[in-house]
Amino acid sequence: MTAELFIQYLFAGITYGSMYAIVAIGFNIIYNTTGIINFAQGEFVMLGGMISITLLRFMPLPLAIVLAVGITMAVGALIEIVFIRWLKEPSVLRMVIITIGISILIREAALHIWGESVRSLPYFVGNEITTTGILGARISPQVIWVIGVCTMMVLLLSLFFGTTSVGREMRACAANRTAAILCGINTRNMVTLSFVLSAGIGALAGCVMSPITSTQYDNGTGLAIKGFTVAILGGLGNSGGAVAAGLLLGIIEAFSVSVVPLAFQEAIAIAILLLILFVRPNGLFGSKDLAGLKEF
Amino acid sequence: MKRIIALLVACLLVIAVELLCSWTGTLYYLTQMTMSAYYSLLIIGLCVVMGYAGQISLGHAGFFAIGGYLSAALTTRNLLLFHDSLLVRGLDFAGLLVTGKDIYGGALVVVTPWAACLFAVLVAATIAFLIGIPVLKLKGHYLAMATLGFGIIIYRLALASSYFGGADGISAVRPFPLCPGLSVSGGPSTRVENYYIAWGLVLLGVILLRNLINSRIGRALRAIHGSEEAAESMGVDTARYKLYIFVLSAVLAAIAGVFLTHYNGGIGPSEASVMKSVRYVAIVAVGGMAHLWGALTMSIVLNFLSLRGVFGTYDDAIFGTILILIMLFAPEGILRINVGQKLLSLGGVFKKGGRKD
């Protein structure tokens, strides 16, 4: 493998990897505040892409993306308020089935609204064949957009959780819900906010990725599985771990293309997931004691 | 006694439906009833896994597909090219091969349906056993994701390998002769026999599972559902019982897959899709998790309506909606909504109010 080809694969891996990392962080945000794995996480990404493509007909690209992210956030809030907010201590099995049901409904709604056709946003800069040279490899500017936006999101989120008071309240909610209530934090609103937040970052990732991966009504499931793999690999609830694990999975996948047929790619990602679940269910970076305290 | 009466009622209902259909000249309904029966066989197995042992499985369509695909492939793929290989010669020696002619009149050598069926079910059981050991150690979300992942792998393999026909699946699967004069095959002439074969199989499955639930194993499973730690501390070998019931349900799913494939004369990758697995879980949930007859009833109703095309393009959406509504409002299943008790509790509220005055 030549050095150029190596860098080419590496960038492809980082692009997909940052996508997976964002989906995994979406899982983590909701998991931290509620203890729920939201199986509809991948659908937010699809919705972001689809809505922005539709809005693009009426308005310029930046506005369409902002509005699409806003609408998806509203959908996220609606889901939480309608389906989750009023349940009293639901069992894990019940929540799994409800979120799976939600993901089916969103997917079917998308199928009836947008049909089966594959759509995509135009490239933000230039077109399909525009490239910039990095270290001798030819990279599409969109790749830089994806990596840049995802990095920005991760930085802003860590700033949000670290410094703002709302972010701290959400973290308090994650650490100990009862204690948070006793401190006067409205935990229910925090849960709604966590759905809004993870819908928002999912939708934004869906928009920037759309020119490269295209958007179709059933994109969500595959993304959710890979995002979940990454979330587990990085240790459920650990967003720093999710970034590292996301990049790792993306790069493994990109290089595996040169060895195994593309049709088996998803099967390989899932086989990795199963292997991790069996061998190290607390993730590569997670501690066993911490995992023992959590309820799955 | 009660159990025997329930079975007798079920038998009578099965016969009554057949008589009603032939009396009104609507025998074509029996085709969908037969297909519903095979799906029900899978669903009662899943019901015991979910309701009694408390383990979710989002990969049961995978076992169904393993059964169906293997049986279909073995009874249609020509082995003539490999007739020199040791394996094929061994099969021939054991009398497990049949010769025939393909649609172009060329010679065709395939495995006999009985051998193919046994092999398919055995493979499904082995896979369930091997995957069950690590998977059933997981709980909650992890268990759901792991079984979902297993289902997707099977779907991808079916879709990506040319041996299993890729996106087209396998068609022109031959009938499955059970005994002289009785074979599993579609078509109007054998409709009534096949209806009884399918329902006989389902009722056999129900008897088996009922006996299992009321045995030592059933009690152990319910203990696991209540609290795995408590069951373990009472000396219940939880891992063994969970695995046992998981393999049994996989075998039922594989048998359902084999029979339905021979009945339909083909199988496609959609039978292995995640949506199918989710649908099975939805039906078990609607029937009431730990309620064998409830799951069976809802399975017949929903599968029949779905197969008749009543839901149109909203088929998957309907199942998603059902899933959410049941889990939100009646997690015990709709047949478990105790109307009398609801009224009593309402009455209690009024009484309490009265006392306050």
Cross-chain Cβ contact B324/A273 below 8 Å: no
Pick from A101, A225, A296: CB nearest B327: A101
Which chain A residue is nearest to residue B332, measuring alpha carbons?
Answer: A94
Indicate if the pLDDT at residue B340 is higher than 60.
Answer: no
DSSP A162-223: HHSHHHHHHHHHHH-HHHHHHTT--HHHHHHHHHHHHHHHHHHHHHHHHHHH-B-TTHHHHH
Indicate if the pLDDT at residue B308 is higher than 50.
Answer: yes
Indicate if the pLDDT at residue B147 is higher than 50.
Answer: yes
Phi, psi of B15, deg, nearest 5: -65, -40
pLDDT confidence of residue B22: 85
Indicate if the pLDDT at residue B305 is higher than 70.
Answer: yes
Identify all chain B residues contacting A107, using CB atoms and an 8 Å cutoff: 316
Domain edges within chain A: 3-293
Percent of chain B with pLDDT over 90: 28
Q: Does domain A3-293 have CATH number 1.10.3470?
A: yes
Indicate if the pLDDT at residue B258 is higher than 70.
Answer: yes
pLDDT confidence of residue A192: 92
Show the tokens assigned to B301. Answer: 């109703």
- For B317-336, the three-class secondary structure string (H helix, E strand, C coil) is HHHHHHHHHHHHHCCCCHHH
Q: Distance (Å, rounded) from C-alpha A240 to C-alpha A162?
A: 13
In this prediction, residue B336 has a pLDDT band, given cuts at 50, 70 and 90, of low
Answer with the residue of higher pLDDT: B330 or B343. B330
Q: What angle do CA B90, B92, B97 make, to 5 degrees?
A: 130
Which of A:28-47 have CB within 8 Å of B?
Answer: 37, 39
Question: Is A126 touching B (CB cutoff 8 A)?
Answer: no
Phi, psi of B184, deg, nearest 5: -85, 105
Q: Which of A104, A232, A296 to mutate to test the interface with B (most CBs of B within 10 A)?
A: A104
Pick from B144, B149, B324: CB nearest A101: B324
Are B42 and B284 within 8 A, CB to CB?
A: no
Q: What angle do CA B164, B167, B173 make, to 5 degrees?
A: 50
Could you tell me how many CB contacts below 8 A there are between chain A and chain B? Answer: 112
Are A105 and B278 within 8 A, CB to CB?
A: no
Answer with the residue of higher pLDDT: B127 or B102. B127
Answer with the residue of higher pLDDT: B38 or B311. B38
Cross-chain Cβ contact B278/A278 below 8 Å: no
Contact partners, residue B204, CB within 8 Å, separation at least 6: none
Q: Which of B152, B318, B327 to mutate to test the interface with A (most CBs of A within 10 A)?
A: B327
Please compute the mean of the pLDDT values over residues B171-182 and round it to a whole number.
Answer: 81
What number is the ipTM of this complex? 0.81
Identify all chain A residues contacting B150, using CB atoms and an 8 Å cutoff: 274
Show the tokens assigned to A133. Answer: 């040279």
Identify all chain B residues contacting A281, using CB atoms and an 8 Å cutoff: 138, 142
Q: Distance (Å, rounded) from C-alpha B227 to C-alpha B43?
A: 24
Cross-chain Cβ contact A108/B314 below 8 Å: yes
Show the tokens assigned to B352. Answer: 């309490």
pLDDT confidence of residue A204: 94
Indicate if the pLDDT at residue B349 is higher than 70.
Answer: no
Record the pTM. Answer: 0.85
pLDDT confidence of residue B201: 93
Output the CA–CA distances (angstroms, integers) from residue A105 to A84, A234, B316, B327, B344, in the order listed.
Answer: 15, 29, 8, 14, 35
Q: CA-based Rg of chain B, rounded to a whole angstrom?
A: 22
Q: Distance (Å, rounded) from C-alpha A215 to C-alpha A210?
A: 6
Q: Distance (Å, rounded) from C-alpha B48 to C-alpha A243?
A: 40
pLDDT confidence of residue B344: 56
Pick from A91, A104, A267: CB nearest B156: A267
Cross-chain Cβ contact B320/A37 below 8 Å: no
Indicate if the pLDDT at residue B82 is higher than 90.
Answer: no
pLDDT confidence of residue B353: 44
Mean pLDDT by 10 residues, chain A (296 residues): 82 90 91 84 93 92 94 95 83 82 92 89 79 76 89 91 88 83 87 93 92 86 85 83 90 82 77 80 64 50
For chain A, helix, strand, coil in percent to 5 are: 75, 5, 25
Which chain B residue is nearest to residue A267, measuring alpha carbons?
Answer: B153
Identify all chain B residues contacting A267, using CB atoms and an 8 Å cutoff: 152-153, 156-157, 160
